[in-house]
Amino acid sequence: MNIDLWQGVAMARNTVQFQKGLSEATFEQRYGTEEKCRAVVMASRWPDGFECPVCGGRAYSEVKTRGLFQCSACRRQTSLIAGTIFASTHVPLRLWFRAMYHVTQSKQGISSIELGRRLGVTQTTAWKLKHKLAQVMMERDASQRLTGRVEIDDAYLGGERSGGKRGLTRLARRRSWPPSRPRPRASRCA
């Protein structure tokens, strides 16, 4: 943790806030092509090289027409993106990586409309990408509890609701209905 001196008082410096981001030029250099993105996913999924999910074999051949890996021992065909966030989408890995870049590098977040413009896809596709990424980040962070002193900046918890109807509040209306005395029923005259 870095310490800054401000008027003679030592203050902790937030290292996350001041970390250097990845420039677009560097991003394009690292992940600019589909082949580079596939190499990153392969290194992440199989750090020690290909391993068949069925038999554990290491020898494989590539089915280039379909982008699959075929185990030489059991002949099982496996996709690189099967079982990942990228599965069941027709979006190229290059666009997934660019979506990750834009979602993580924008300070106030990014709307799905703006993400769609930057990626060159429809707003609904951008919305799906953004929500899948948010879901994965939430699942990863859910296992880690916050410890120590937790500070929240610019948060409003509770307070009055603005607008609404005058008169009884929703809770008061619920308490007053049904009435404590039953309504008299009209008697039928035959």
62 forms beta bridges with 69
Tell me the pLDDT band of 98, cut-offs 50, 70 and 90.
Answer: very high
pLDDT of residue 53 exceeding 80, the answer is yes
Q: CA dist 20 to 4, 141, 153, 174, 178, Å?
A: 18, 22, 22, 54, 61
Taking residues 172-179, report their average pLDDT: 58
> What pLDDT shows up at residue 105?
87
CATH of 24-84, one of 3.20.20, 2.20.25, 3.30.450, 1.10.3470: 2.20.25
Mean pLDDT of the chain: 81
What H or E segment, with its residue span, contains residue 11?
strand 9-13
Neighbours of 85 (CB within 10 A): 14
Q: What is the pTM of this model?
A: 0.66
Q: Give the pair of three-digit tokens for residue 164.
A: 């609404």
**pLDDT of 29 higher than 60:** yes
Better-scored residue on pLDDT, 158 or 48:
48
Angle of helix 24-31 relative to helix 34-45, nearest 10 degrees, comes to 70
**Lowest pLDDT segment from 120-124, 129-133, 175-179:** 175-179
pLDDT tens readout for residues 71-85? 999 999 998 898 889
| Residue 127 in tokens | 């919305």
pLDDT of residue 168: 58
pLDDT, average across residues 39-54: 90
Spans of all domains in the chain: 24-84, 89-141
